[in-house]
């Protein structure tokens, strides 16, 4: 049992300071063990920094249509940030300020939501709650501090199943130079998928009707950093750090490197308590993982990194194949001898669960009505009929989420990290800060949230974005309502 009493809670800033000193440990300067241009088949574009201040990253970004080549000769007319798929890799250091001058050159309204980032509510990108939609030709400036190291991502919050599926997403990486990980060779991997026909025209967002919504539409082309089956050239036995984000609107990735060990060191909100090593790692829609791998093979041979079958509901294993993600091509140099990795650990301090307000959350999918319509419900109602959940500023809540449907739901909360608890109210080990947690079909999850700051109306939803639009969405009003009238019931999700 956690024996910390409420009155002993340390202010967040102090905790953050403690956490970063706990992380700081001397790390020998790391030099790359990989050949030159080892990752040139899958590097992400970086935006141009317009601000001379080293602690401010200031960029311009445009949403616009562009024809993108995902494989030599295979082109799609995608919706893009700055003309590429995915959008630029926004990369800064923890504590930096990010300013994004965003312009919408699409015909539809849009916004940018900063998935997982503890932004002020006005920067959260939800139309009708935090800002107005950015219409064609209009601009909006996002400006906030990057308080937490970790891998995050950005995407629209207007017609999001359509817009994310059409290509609007990118990674936001917040580095902590003192994280002690000590692996010189690192990659950021944006996993996604996209559906289009022979002419390069996007598959309509409503394909398959209600059944498509219930399944969660997947594009037939799986992409790694916007490319189909790219190649990485590596030295056998050299450790690499992969920061992975799943930006697909529905697809899950169960990553396998031919059974070679994958060590997870972090998830959504940065490093976890301690590493765990397994043969595969699952990244559900919206989630991130931070892993260390040491691909090993005969010099000159290849190794395929795959997405294995994972059952997230009917149709996800029955009619699917294992997907090739990318190829690792070993150089002709001999395999490097194994070296132990540095001890990677982080002290995480959850708030005590004792005294938390219990909030039951039940997810259901009633049988199709006579009109053929299907809708997901949260506590008996779809989003368009829902009233906000309520939380007082400073209230700790324990959400007991019961997934009573035959589908998995990666449950995402805006604006706050949470921690998953077991049946006895104890944090699930190793502890990790999450903003998206998969709740497998017919199971329950329990998450502890400290609504300690930033009053406002924050969204939660399934990150299978078809499910979100199919009703599996809601908001929690933290602190008193602003009195602003809400128009999001009809528009944004
Ligand atoms: Cu990636 Cu509403 O979220
Ligand atoms: Cu779902």
Residue with token string 């919706």: 79
Q: Record the tokens describing residue 489, joined without a space.
A: 């019931």
Gap between the Cα atoms of 146 and 431, Å rounded: 22
Lowest mean pLDDT among 22-26, 95-99, 441-445: 22-26
Query: What are the tens digits of pLDDT across the range 245-264?
Result: 999 999 999 999 999 999 99
Burial of 280 (0-12, 13-18, 19+ CB in 10 A): middle
Give CA–CA dist 384/404, Å, rounded: 20
Ligand nearest to the CA of 415: 1
**pLDDT, average across residues 16-20:** 40
Supply the pLDDT for residue 23. 43
Q: What is the predicted pLDDT for the residue at 22?
A: 41
Neighbours of ion ligand 2 (CB under 5 A): 409, 462, 464, 467
Quick one: which ligand is closest to 213's CA?
2
Tens digits of residue pLDDT in 202-248: 999 999 999 999 999 999 999 999 999 999 999 999 999 999 999 99
Whether the predicted pLDDT of 176 surpasses 50:
yes
Residue closest via CA to ligand 1's atom 3 equals 115
CA of 314 to the centre of ligand 1 (A): 24
Whether the predicted pLDDT of 18 surpasses 80: no
Domains of the chain and CATH, by start? 3-330 (2.60.40.420), 354-478 (2.60.40.420)
Give 269-316 as a DSSP string: TEEEEEEEEESEEEE-TT-EEEEEE-----TT-EEEEEEEP--SSTTS
Identify the pLDDT of residue 484: 56
- The lowest-confidence range among 280-284, 337-341, 476-480 is 337-341
Q: Which residues contact ligand 1 via a Cβ below 6 A? A: 113, 115, 155, 157, 286, 412, 414, 459, 461, 463
What are the structure tokens assigned to 306, written together? 């795959």
Atom 1 in ligand 1: which residue has the minimum CA distance?
Answer: 115
- The SS3 assignment for 385 reads helix
Cα–ligand 1 centroid distance for 125 (angstroms): 9
Atom of ligand 1 nearest to the CA of 157: 2
Could you tell me the pTM of the whole model?
0.92
What confidence tens digit (pLDDT) does each residue in 404-453 have?
999 999 999 999 999 999 999 999 999 999 999 999 999 999 999 999 99
Q: Which atom of ligand 1 is nearest to the CA of 461?
A: 2
pLDDT at 4 over 60: no
Closest CA to 168 of 59, 283, 64, 60: 64
């Amino acid at each position: 049992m956690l024996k910390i009493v409420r009155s002993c809670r340390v202010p967040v800033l102090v905790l953050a300071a403690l956490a970063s000193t706990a992380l700081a440990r001397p790390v020998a300067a790391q030099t790359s063990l990989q050949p030159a241009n080892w990752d040139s088949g899958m590097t992400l574009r970086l935006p141009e920094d317009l601000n001379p201040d080293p602690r401010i990253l200031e960029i311009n970004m445009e949403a616009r249509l562009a024809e993108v080549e995902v494989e030599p000769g295979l082109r799609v007319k995608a919706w893009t940030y700055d003309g590429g798929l995915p959008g630029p890799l926004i990369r800064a250091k923890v504590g930096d300020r990010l300013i994004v001058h965003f312009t919408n050159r699409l015909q539809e309204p849009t916004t940018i939501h900063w998935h997982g980032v503890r932004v002020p509510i006005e920067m959260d990108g939800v139309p009708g709650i935090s800002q107005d939609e950015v219409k064609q030709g209009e601009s909006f400036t996002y400006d906030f501090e990057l308080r937490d190291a970790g891998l995050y991502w950005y995407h629209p919050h207007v017609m999001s199943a359509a817009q994310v599926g059409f290509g609007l997403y990118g990674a936001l990486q917040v580095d902590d130079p003192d994280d002690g990980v000590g692996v010189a060779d690192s990659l950021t991997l944006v996993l996604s998928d996209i559906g289009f026909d022979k002419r390069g025209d996007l598959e309509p967002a409503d394909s398959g009707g209600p059944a498509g919504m219930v399944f969660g539409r997947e594009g037939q082309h799986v992409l790694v950093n916007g490319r189909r089956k790219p190649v990485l050239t590596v030295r056998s036995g050299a450790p690499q750090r992969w920061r992975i984000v799943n930006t697909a609107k529905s697809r899950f990735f169960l990553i396998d490197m031919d059974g070679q060990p994958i060590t997870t060191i972090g998830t959504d909100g940065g490093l976890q308590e301690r590493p765990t090593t397994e043969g595969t790692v699952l990244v559900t829609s919206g989630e991130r993982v931070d892993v260390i791998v040491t691909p090993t093979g005969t010099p000159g041979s290849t190794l395929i990194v795959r997405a294995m079958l994972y059952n997230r509901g009917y149709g996800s294993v029955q009619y699917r194949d294992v997907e090739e993600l990318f190829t690792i091509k070993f150089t002709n140099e001999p395999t490097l001898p194994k070296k132990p990795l540095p001890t990677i650990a982080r002290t995480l301090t959850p708030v005590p669960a004792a005294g938390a307000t219990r909030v039951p959350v039940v997810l259901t999918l009633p049988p199709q009505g006579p009109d053929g319509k299907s809708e997901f419900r949260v506590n008996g109602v779809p989003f368009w009929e829902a009233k906000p959940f309520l939380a007082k500023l400073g209230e700790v809540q324990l959400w007991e989420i019961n997934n009573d449907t035959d589908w998995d739901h990666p449950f995402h909360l805006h604006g706050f990290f949470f921690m998953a608890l077991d049946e006895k109210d104890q944090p699930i080990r190793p502890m990790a800060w999450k903003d998206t947690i998969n709740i497998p079909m017919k199971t329950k999850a329990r998450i502890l949230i400290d609504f300690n700051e930033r009053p406002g109306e924050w969204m939660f939803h399934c990150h299978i974005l078809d499910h979100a639009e199919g009703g599996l969405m809601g908001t929690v009003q933290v602190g008193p309502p602003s009195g602003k009238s809400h128009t999001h019931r009809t528009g944004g999700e």
